[in-house]
Amino acid sequence: MQFQVPQFIDTEDKIIGPLTLKQFVYITIGAGLSFFLFFFFNLWLWAFSIVLINTATISLAFIKINGIPLPKIVSAAIGYFWKPKFYLWKKTAAPGQKIEKTKEPAQIKEGANPLNDIWQKLLTSKTPIPAREKTTQPAIFDQFRSHQEKYEVFRKITGEKEMARRVDYK
């Protein structure tokens, strides 16, 4: 049994002449607003406002940027500027539970980058950095290991534990 698959599902239907319903609504709102402003403004002010209003409505109706219609881009921009962007998680204690304060980080010297120091230590150290690398030597590999091989269990970013052979370059 064969079924007909719709081909152009991302294009909107042309309802009113060559315009889609959304395009027609945008243009109608702009034309209606221009008509009502004719009765409230002087001729020169009305002509200036028509140019602005019609430019805005035609651009909302027809302009697409990277295949995204302009009204979606405008609503995303308004949402970006309107909504808060700073999220701070504060741990709240359950009733009867105390929260321990952690030590404040040491002062960083001006011009020094602590990440570069840690990265350099990780690349060049022969001993593990305390509280960062925990060396464990599983008993299952004792029979295959030579005197120089060391194995470590580490955690990936996803939280999985994985075992790998440690190589110290001397």
Question: Is pLDDT above 70 for 58?
Answer: yes
Q: How many CB atoms lie within 10 A of CB 46?
A: 15
Q: Which has more confidence, 19 or 150?
A: 19
Which of 104, 103, 101 minimizes the C-alpha distance to 90?
Answer: 101
The model's pLDDT over 8-54, given as tens digits with 9 standing for 90+, comes to 777 778 888 889 999 999 999 999 999 999 999 999 999 999 999 99
157 falls in which pLDDT band (50, 70, 90)?
confident
Domain residue ranges of the chain, discontinuous segments joined by +: 21-82, 122-166
**Strand ranges for 61-140 from DSSP E:** 64-65, 68-69
**Strand ranges for the chain from DSSP E:** 64-65, 68-69, 150-155, 161-166
* Contacting residues for 154 by C-beta, under 8 A, at least 6 apart: 133, 161, 162, 163, 164
